[in-house]
A and B are shown apart, each in its own frame.
Chain A
Amino acid sequence: MSEDIRIGVFICHCGHNIGGFVDVPAVTEYAKTLPGVVFATHNLYTCADDGLRCIKDNIKEHNLNRVIVASCTPRTHAPLFQGACQEAGLNKYLFTFVNIREHCSWVHMKEKENATKKAKDLVKMGVARAALLAPQQESRVPVEPSSLVIGGGVAGMTAAVSLADKGFQVTLVEKENELGGMVLILYNLYDGGGDPMAMLKPLVEKVQSHPNIRVMLKSRMTALDGYVGNFRATVQRTDGSQELQLTVGTIIVATGAIDLMPEGLYGYDLYDNVLNLTEFELLCKKKELPKLKSVAFIQCAGSRGQKVSYCSRICCTVALKGAMKIIDNHEELMGRQVVDGKEQVVEKIRVEEKAAEDIADRRRRRRRMDEEREERPAAAAAPADGGVEVTVFNRGITTYGVDHELYYNKAREKRVRFVRFTPERIPVVGREGDKLTVTYWHETLKTERKLQVDMVVLSTPQMAQPDSRELSQMLKVPLGQEGFFLEAHVKLRPVDFATDGIFVCGTAHGPADITESVEQAEAAASRASIPMMRGYVQAEALTSTVNSDLCTGCRTCEFTCPYSAIAVDPKTQKAVVTDVLCKGCGTCAAGCPRGAITMRHYTSQQIEAEIKAFAECREA
Chain B
Amino acid sequence: MADFEPRILGFLCNWCSYAGADLAGVSRMQYPTNLRVVRVMCSGRVDPVVVADTLLKGLDGVIVTGCHINDCHYISGNFHTQKRMQLLIELIDQTPMRGRVRLEWVSASEGTRFAAVMKDFTDTIRALGPTPLGTDQAARTALLAVRDTFSSPHLRNVMGKYFHLTERGTVYGWKLEPARMEKALREVLRAEHARALIIHNAGTAPVTVPRLAELTRIPAAEIVRHLSVMMKQSKVSLAGHDGADPLFQVAPGAGVG
Which residues does A use to contact B, with CB under 8 Å?
73-75, 99, 101-104, 106-111, 114-115, 117-118, 121-122, 125, 469, 478-479, 488-489, 498, 542, 552, 554-557, 559-560, 562-563, 583-587, 589-594, 599, 602, 604, 607-608, 610-612, 614-615, 617
Instruction: Please tell me if the beta carbons of A586 and B40 are within 8 angstroms of each other in the complex.
Output: yes
User: Taking the complex as formed, is B225 at the interface, i.e. its CB lies under 8 A from any CB of chain A?
Assistant: no
Report 27 cross-chain contacts, Cβ distance below 8 Å, ordered by A residue: A74-B39, A103-B21, A103-B35, A107-B29, A107-B31, A108-B33, A114-B5, A114-B33, A542-B41, A556-B157, A559-B161, A559-B165, A560-B164, A563-B75, A584-B41, A585-B73, A585-B77, A587-B76, A587-B80, A591-B84, A591-B156, A593-B154, A593-B160, A602-B45, A611-B59, A615-B7, A617-B7
Nearest Cβ in chain B — how far from A523, in angstroms? 19
Instruction: Please tell me if the beta carbons of A106 and B33 are within 8 angstroms of each other in the complex.
Output: no
User: In the complex, A289 Cα to B28 Cα: how many Å?
Assistant: 72
User: Taking the complex as formed, is B182 at the interface, i.e. its CB lies under 8 A from any CB of chain A?
Assistant: no
Binds A, one of B47-55, B92-100, B194-202, B214-222: B47-55
Q: Using A118-B33, A559-B160, A587-B44 as known contacts, say yes or no to A614 and B59 having CB atoms under 8 A apart.
A: yes
B residues in contact with A73, CB < 8 Å: 18, 22, 25
Instruction: Please tell me if the beta carbons of A591 and B159 are within 8 angstroms of each other in the complex.
Output: yes
Instruction: Mark interface residues in B1-31 (1 if CB within 8 Å of A CB, else 0).
Output: 0000101010000100011011011101111
A residues in contact with B59, CB < 8 Å: 611, 614-615
Nearest Cβ in chain B — how far from A252, in angstroms? 20
B residues in contact with A584, CB < 8 Å: 41
User: In the complex, A102 Cα to B196 Cα: how many Å?
Assistant: 41
Instruction: Mark interface residues in B89-118 (1 if CB within 8 Å of A CB, else 0).
Output: 000000000000000000000000001000
Q: Using A478-B168, A587-B44, A614-B59 as known contacts, say yes or no to A562 and B77 having CB atoms under 8 A apart.
A: yes
User: In the complex, A199 Cα to B235 Cα: how many Å?
Assistant: 73
Instruction: Please tell me if the beta carbons of B47 and A587 are within 8 angstroms of each other in the complex.
Output: no
User: In the complex, A326 Cα to B111 Cα: how many Å?
Assistant: 59
Q: Using A590-B45, A615-B59 as known contacts, say yes or no to A109 and B30 having CB atoms under 8 A apart.
A: yes
- The chain A residue with its CB closest to the CB of B152 is A593
User: Taking the complex as formed, is B241 at the interface, i.e. its CB lies under 8 A from any CB of chain A?
Assistant: no
Other-chain contact of A593, B28, B40, B157, B168 (Cβ < 8 Å): B157
User: In the complex, A125 Cα to B12 Cα: how many Å?
Assistant: 15
Instruction: Please tell me if the beta carbons of A604 and B47 are within 8 angstroms of each other in the complex.
Output: yes
A residues in contact with B115, CB < 8 Å: 107
Q: Using A102-B21, A125-B36, A589-B45 as known contacts, say yes or no to A469 and B77 having CB atoms under 8 A apart.
A: no
Most B-side CB within 10 Å, residue of A559, A560, A610: A560
Q: Using A108-B30, A593-B154, A610-B38 as known contacts, say yes or no to A615 and B57 having CB atoms under 8 A apart.
A: yes
A residues in contact with B156, CB < 8 Å: 556, 591-593
User: Taking the complex as formed, is B37 at the interface, i.e. its CB lies under 8 A from any CB of chain A?
Assistant: yes
Nearest Cβ in chain A — how far from B63, in angstroms? 13
- The chain A residue with its CB closest to the CB of B44 is A587
Instruction: Please tell me if the beta carbons of A585 and B21 are within 8 angstroms of each other in the complex.
Output: no
Nearest Cβ in chain B — how far from A354, in angstroms? 38
Minimum-distance CB pairs A-B, first 8: A102-B25, A587-B44, A586-B45, A593-B153, A556-B160, A559-B164, A585-B74, A585-B42
User: Taking the complex as formed, is B46 at the interface, i.e. its CB lies under 8 A from any CB of chain A?
Assistant: yes
User: In the complex, A117 Cα to B5 Cα: how many Å?
Assistant: 12
Instruction: Please tell me if the beta carbons of B28 and A107 are within 8 angstroms of each other in the complex.
Output: yes
User: Taking the complex as formed, is B58 at the interface, i.e. its CB lies under 8 A from any CB of chain A?
Assistant: yes
Other-chain contact of A611, B19, B50, B160, B165 (Cβ < 8 Å): B50
User: In the complex, A277 Cα to B18 Cα: how many Å?
Assistant: 52
Known: A102-B26, A542-B41, A599-B45. 18 other contacts (CB 8 A): A73-B18, A99-B37, A103-B35, A103-B37, A107-B29, A114-B5, A125-B38, A469-B173, A559-B161, A560-B164, A562-B75, A562-B77, A587-B77, A591-B84, A602-B45, A611-B50, A615-B57, A615-B58
A residues in contact with B153, CB < 8 Å: 552, 554, 593-594
- The chain B residue with its CB closest to the CB of A481 is B167
User: In the complex, A114 Cα to B7 Cα: how many Å?
Assistant: 12
- The chain A residue with its CB closest to the CB of B165 is A559
Q: Using A111-B33, A591-B80, A591-B159 as known contacts, say yes or no to A611 and B53 having CB atoms under 8 A apart.
A: yes
B residues in contact with A562, CB < 8 Å: 74-77
Most B-side CB within 10 Å, residue of A110, A585, A614: A585
- The chain A residue with its CB closest to the CB of B175 is A481
User: In the complex, A593 Cα to B31 Cα: how many Å?
Assistant: 37
B residues in contact with A117, CB < 8 Å: 33
User: In the complex, A602 Cα to B74 Cα: how many Å?
Assistant: 16
A residues in contact with B163, CB < 8 Å: 559
Instruction: Please tell me if the beta carbons of A611 and B54 are within 8 angstroms of each other in the complex.
Output: yes
Instruction: Please tell me if the beta carbons of B44 and A590 are within 8 angstroms of each other in the complex.
Output: yes
Instruction: Please tell me if the beta carbons of B80 and A611 are within 8 angstroms of each other in the complex.
Output: no
User: In the complex, A559 Cα to B18 Cα: how many Å?
Assistant: 27
A residues in contact with B31, CB < 8 Å: 107-108
Instruction: Please tell me if the beta carbons of A602 and B41 are within 8 angstroms of each other in the complex.
Output: yes
Q: Using A102-B22, A118-B33 as known contacts, say yes or no to A560 and B38 having CB atoms under 8 A apart.
A: no
User: In the complex, A591 Cα to B156 Cα: how many Å?
Assistant: 6
Instruction: Please tell me if the beta carbons of A590 and B58 are within 8 angstroms of each other in the complex.
Output: no
- The chain B residue with its CB closest to the CB of A101 is B25
Nearest Cβ in chain B — how far from A432, in angstroms? 44
Nearest Cβ in chain B — how far from A545, in angstroms? 14
- The chain B residue with its CB closest to the CB of A470 is B173
Instruction: Please tell me if the beta carbons of A107 and B25 are within 8 angstroms of each other in the complex.
Output: yes
Nearest Cβ in chain A — how far from B28, in angstroms? 6
User: In the complex, A260 Cα to B19 Cα: how many Å?
Assistant: 46
Q: Using A560-B80, A585-B42, A599-B45 as known contacts, say yes or no to A607 and B25 having CB atoms under 8 A apart.
A: no
Most A-side CB within 10 Å, residue of B29, B44, B80, B160: B160
Instruction: Please tell me if the beta carbons of A585 and B33 are within 8 angstroms of each other in the complex.
Output: no
- The chain B residue with its CB closest to the CB of A76 is B22
A residues in contact with B36, CB < 8 Å: 118, 121-122, 125, 614
Instruction: Please tell me if the beta carbons of A557 and B45 are within 8 angstroms of each other in the complex.
Output: no
Instruction: Please tell me if the beta carbons of A585 and B44 are within 8 angstroms of each other in the complex.
Output: yes
User: In the complex, A114 Cα to B47 Cα: how many Å?
Assistant: 30
User: In the complex, A75 Cα to B59 Cα: how many Å?
Assistant: 27
Most A-side CB within 10 Å, residue of B14, B45, B167: B45
Instruction: Please tell me if the beta carbons of B154 and A122 are within 8 angstroms of each other in the complex.
Output: no
User: In the complex, A594 Cα to B38 Cα: how many Å?
Assistant: 24
Nearest Cβ in chain A — how far from B61, in angstroms? 12
Other-chain contact of B74, A587, A608, A617 (Cβ < 8 Å): A587
Nearest Cβ in chain A — how far from B192, in angstroms? 11
